[in-house]
Amino acid sequence: MFSGAIDHVEGEPATGDLVTVVARDGAFLARAGYSPQSQIRARVWSFDPARTVDAAFLRERLATSIARRDAVPKGSNAMRLVHGESDGLPGLVADRYGDVIVVQILSAAAERWRKFWGPALQELTGARAVYERSDVEVRALEGLPSQVGPLVGAAPGAVKIEEDGIAYEVDVAAGQKTGFYLDQRENRALAGTLASGADVLNGFCYTGGFSLAALKAGAKQVTSLDTSEEALAAARRNVEINSLDDSRADWVAADVFAYLRRLRDQNKRYGLIVLDPPKFAPTEKHVPNAARAYKDINLWAMKLLAPGGHLLTFSCSGAITPDLFQKIVAGAAADAKVDLQVRRHLGAALDHPSSIHFPEGEYLKGLWLQAS
């Protein structure tokens, strides 16, 4: 509920307090957590006038979220258990990595219940540890400090997970996000189905997700780019723990924008290219620059596609709509003078649902394109 939608506040609710939201005529609208410092002034816990928001209510929401993951195929022991607003728990993210759960507390409303989440999640899942990674910029907008450390049990260190037959070591304490990009699980599997015998280029590879899927599927050669040396070192370790043939894998510390041009100068061609960049548009005001950046990398990647080659291209910027993303990519194809088929629209994996009332939750979009 944005600040501009609020006519007036009665009483003096403190940060995280439970407030009742009413219409001008006094009709009940919602119960919400109050956040005086944030432009998102209140986060809705419930639209049900008959329910108050207490530990029993939140426990029920957690249990429902976890049960919703029964629909997720059993090929992985790592998945998102709670996806914030989309699971009716605004500002709370909980990711499971084997028997460790990593939590992000992102709103004043969720912060109010900070002592509750760790023990409740442990009780509901049997996890050995619950670790907090609330070191994200959005907390500052809520007037909350960055916070990292164990909530339950000891600090877990590196955690080994398995996803569709591939093992990954996840650094939950220092890795990006909560340690791994769980949202790309299904798209990594798709990359595997396209990689056999192909020369593969994986821009923005992080700890090797798409690259390992391609190697495992029998790619001829996989070139992976990232600017983070730590990420590349972790990716190499992941090749090792899976006993995959590292002679088929090149790991390059490079800026994708510059390196794609270099590959073009070298006349390289690839049967599969993956572009999964970081969030170029964290907010609305970044959209014009982000659009230029998305267009640039897609244009150069398209020039590197072999005949019949596949491009899996993504944007995880909430402010870039799927429609706009497709327009940007179409513009890139026109300028690259490449004819492409849209084989499928792609999104986040099944453990990242989005509420129909919260389209912003649908942040990850992608296109599977194939060159003629």
In this chain, which stretch among 203-211, 260-268, 299-307, 347-355 interacts with ligand SAH, using CB under 6 A? Answer: 203-211
184 binds ligand SAH per the rule CB under 6 A: yes
**What tokens appear for 246 in the block?**
């590292």
Cβ nearer to ligand SAH, comparing 90 with 175: 175
Cβ nearer to ligand SAH, comparing 81 with 275: 275
Judged by DSSP in three states, 201 sits in strand
Judge contact between 180 and 173, C-beta under 8 A: no
Taking phi over 0 as left and psi of -120 to 50 as alpha, with beta for the rest, 148 belongs to: beta
Task: Report d(CA 103, CA 93) in Å as an integer.
Answer: 6
Cβ nearer to ligand SAH, comparing 231 with 332: 231
In this chain, which stretch among 72-80, 88-96, 104-112, 200-208 interacts with ligand SAH, using CB under 6 A? Answer: 200-208
Cβ nearer to ligand SAH, comparing 276 with 351: 276
Task: Report d(CA 231, CA 180) in Å as an integer.
Answer: 11
**CA-CA-CA-CA dihedral for 207, 211, 217, 220, to nearest 10:** -140
Contact residue for ligand SAH among 226, 244, 312, 332 (CB under 6 A):
226
Residue 205 catalytic?
no
Cα dist. 82→127, 205, 239, 325, 354 in Å?
15, 25, 29, 27, 11
The packing angle between helices 287-303 and 322-336, to 10°, is 40
Residue 226 CB, shortest distance to ligand SAH, in Å, is: 4
Cβ nearer to ligand SAH, comparing 66 with 166: 166
Judge contact between 235 and 229, C-beta under 8 A: no
91 binds ligand SAH per the rule CB under 6 A: no
242 binds ligand SAH per the rule CB under 6 A: no
The residue among 161, 153, 158 whose CA lies nearest residue 132 is 153
39 binds ligand SAH per the rule CB under 6 A: no
225 binds ligand SAH per the rule CB under 6 A: yes
In this chain, which stretch among 29-37, 62-70, 90-98, 223-231 interacts with ligand SAH, using CB under 6 A? Answer: 223-231
How many other C-beta atoms lie within 10 A of the C-beta of residue 102? 29
Cβ nearer to ligand SAH, comparing 40 with 281: 281
**What tokens appear for 328 in the block?**
């940007």
Judged by DSSP in three states, 283 sits in coil
Report how many helices (DSSP H) and strands (DSSP E) the chain contains, helices first.
10, 17
Contact residue for ligand SAH among 34, 45, 131, 204 (CB under 6 A):
204
Contact residue for ligand SAH among 210, 251, 270, 300 (CB under 6 A):
210
Contact residue for ligand SAH among 143, 157, 278, 359 (CB under 6 A):
278
Chain contacts with ligand SAH (rule: CB under 6 A): 176, 181, 184, 188, 204, 206-207, 209-210, 225-228, 231, 255-257, 276-278
